[in-house]
Structure 1
């Protein structure tokens, strides 16, 4: 009899923890740019959080966003200033810092948390309005001129704060060494040329790699993938 009661209790506890875990998972969700933007526009005073570092936030961010993450000194105070019964919109560069913050907010009773898929890259790359204190080093007109004047162009779009973007650099150097002047390589960073990224309206994540041949896009990669192989294949018969 005691064993049956114990088994029932254990089963009940498992179901309870499963329900709690499921509820927490459902309290936050990663959404694409258009849905994220629409949900923000539907709020009179949207609670937008930039989960990047303060130095990143100072350069560019979504207008009206607050800036803090789980490692911020003012974390508890910043969370206390939010309304847990209203939606919260979070973004960073990738999903890591956004995910950590989302988890903490869910634990603190926030019932509706949205994470922007692709982060700031998706927002600016999708042409949505943003604040910046930077003047782009490269304009869209200059970008198009480079594409038009070179037979083969490889464009690397990213951020110096993006971990994956850093792994692209040595691969680009290998490609540069292999192909020399045959292939023009352009590196565009959010911290130097945000407006050209916005004007392209094609960037969804960092890094984004685009390969042009005679002004035509041969491939576009959302993320690194096997970049060197893709370039080799594109140039194999040229």
Structure 2
């Protein structure tokens, strides 16, 4: 076989490999695409797969709440029309991705998943229905909270966030054991949507470390206790 033919075969394999990867994720839509497609689809079935508490704090217009983690999720989605498009979302993405896969497995033909969930939706300043009038602390209140002679570590978390739960015990331990070295503030992202929007918190968990009202370090995603303590200790150098 000539070198040219080998190169051609490799190109074809690479091309179809990329194509298959794209097809796998073709129904996972960005906020802009999801919003536009939802608006243009007359018979859309919009499903919020978060908990009822999260749903009450704000949801997309015309969304029905079917909790992915509830025991009756499968029974409830059976009431949907498999022939009509289904749009699913959660708070940050993982639950809706799992729910979308389940729906496809059950035979639903067109399922669209919102990348980044409500956090990305809110960051894009798109409209939502709020049953609760509380938006949590304001930016002014937040700035007062980080005024301190000590470094201030702000933890943005949510009850549904697995990495947040994993970090919670050591953050609580640090707060109890290091009161003379750092002030730790935990902010529930679900209950404080406005400050999350103001500070660009669109995924969780997020840690922000302040000194003299200035942000000196921030981190998205899980981080170990040792890494956090290292950042705090480096402030004093």
Matched, 1:170 2:169: yes
Which of 115, 118, 122 aligns to 1:120? It is 118
Task: Let me know the Cα RMSD of the aligned residues.
Answer: 3.2
Match of 1:99 in 2: 97
Q: Map Cα deviations across residues 81-125 of structure 1 (whole Å, 9 max, x no partner).
A: 446353x32222354432332123223444443323333333335
- The normalised TM-score by structure 1 is 0.71
| Count of aligned positions | 214
Asked if 1:145 is matched to 2:118, the reply is no
Say if 2:44 and 2:84, in contact at 8 Å, map to a contact too. no
Structure (1 or 2) with the greater helix fraction: 1
What whole-Å deviation, never above 9, does each CA across 1:150-203 have from its counterpart, x for those lacking one? 552211112123232222221212332453244222211134323322333x11
Q: How does 1:61-140 map to 2 (within 5 A)?
A: 61-69=59-67, 71=70, 73=72, 75-76=74-75, 78-82=77-81, 84-86=83-85, 88-132=86-130, 133-140=132-139
Match of 1:26 in 2: 24
Q: Structure 1, unaligned stretches of length 5 or more? A: 1-21
1:50: how far off?
A: 0.8
In the alignment, which residue of structure 2 is the partner of 1:3?
none
Native 8 Å contact 2:204 2:221 kept in 1: yes
After superposition, the Cα gap between the structure-2 partners of 1:226 and 1:126, relative to the gap in structure 1 and judged at 3 Å, is farther
1:235 aligns with 2:227: no
1:213 to 200, 211, 214: 211
Unaligned runs of at least 5 residues, structure 2: 1-19
2:185 equivalent in structure 1:
186
Q: TM-score, normalised by structure 2?
A: 0.71
What corresponds to 1:197 in structure 2? 196
2:231 counterpart SS class: helix
Deviation track 1:17-56 (CA, whole Å, cap 9, x = no partner) reads xxxxx69x73764344344334434445653211122333
Conservation of the 8 A alpha-carbon contact between 1:69 and 1:75: no
